[in-house]
Amino acid sequence: MSPKILIVDDERNVRLNYRIALETEGYEVFEAVSAANALEELLGRSFDLAILDMRMPAMDGLQLLAKMRELEITVPAMIVTAYSDVPHAVQAMKLGAIDFLQKPLRPEDLRRIVAEILKRHAPQKDHQAESYNSHIVAAKRCLNLRSFANARIHLVKALELNTKSVEAFNLAGVLAEMLEDVDKARKYYGQAIKLDKNYEPAQQNMRRLFELQHFGSSSEPFNLGGT
């Protein structure tokens, strides 16, 4: 069965471009022209992914995501923004949006990140349950679903299997930041950088913390690293 994807955007041409890019990969694509329309779709059928535009009339993408979580709609969500600055990234992360893309989107970038999200949320095979990679993927999935306790469990197990995992330390920083423990987040990002000074996801996350602390906003969303 093909994955079902809901595109939520008030611009017809944008929805059409997304549809063309995704249907070529075999995805089943649905459209919503507003947040209210999207909620009807989300309550009426099961989706594998919702792509939410940040700016929409009446209710924006962030407000829609908050309403989805309030209604216990746990479908993974990706935020698309037209702004170079993402001042609401931290709030969106708390609601489970850990993937951002900026307009204008290249079709290949959209297809790539959609594939990554669907892979992250695919059922895990039993024989892979204790592998390092499966715990990393599971941790990202739990962050998406705001299952923080389970995310922590998977990160601990990942670090037991690889004590020098820069990706696990970076994700631990993301988890801490989602839980509003900035000091601990900075510590984990710093540990990832200490292990690999060229690891860009941790560098980006550390920059974002600095910008948020000193300027009140940041131009960079969370970077989970890897796939």
CA distance 154 to 128: 13
Q: Which CATH superfamily is domain 4-120 in?
A: Response regulator (3.40.50.2300)
Residues 6+ apart with CB under 8 A from 71: 39, 43
Q: 159 with 191: CB under 8 angstroms?
A: no
- What is the predicted pLDDT for the residue at 226? 67
Percent with pLDDT over 70 in the chain: 88
pLDDT in tens, 35-55: 999 999 999 999 999 999 988
Give the CATH number of domain 126-215: 1.25.40.10
Q: Bigger pLDDT: 61 or 92?
A: 61
Residues 6+ apart with CB under 8 A from 191: 169
pLDDT in tens, 15-34: 999 999 999 999 999 999 99
Sequence ranges of the chain with CATH classification 1.25.40.10: 126-215
In the chain the first and final C-alpha atoms are separated, in Å, by 23
pLDDT in tens, 170-207: 999 999 988 889 999 999 999 999 999 999 999 999 99
Residue 153 clears pLDDT 60, i.e. is over it: yes
At 127, the pLDDT band (50, 70, 90 cuts) reads: very low
- What is the predicted pLDDT for the residue at 194? 95
Residue 5 clears pLDDT 90, i.e. is over it: yes
Cis peptide before 87 (omega within 30 of 0): no
Phi, psi at 6, each rounded to 5°: -105, 125
CA distance 49 to 87: 23
Mean pLDDT of the chain, nearest integer: 86
At 134, the pLDDT band (50, 70, 90 cuts) reads: confident
Percent with pLDDT over 90 in the chain: 49
- What is the predicted pLDDT for the residue at 195? 94
At 104, the pLDDT band (50, 70, 90 cuts) reads: confident
- What is the predicted pLDDT for the residue at 125? 54
Number of CB atoms found within 10 A of residue 105's CB: 17
Question: 61-70 and 35-44 are packed helices; what angle lies between their axes, rounded to 10 degrees?
Answer: 30
Tokens matching residue 12: 């017809």
Residue 130 clears pLDDT 70, i.e. is over it: no
String of DSSP letters for 104-116? SPPHHHHHHHHHH
pTM confidence score: 0.66
Torsion of CA 218, 32, 36, 108, to 10 degrees: -10
Tokens 């690293």 correspond to what residue? 225
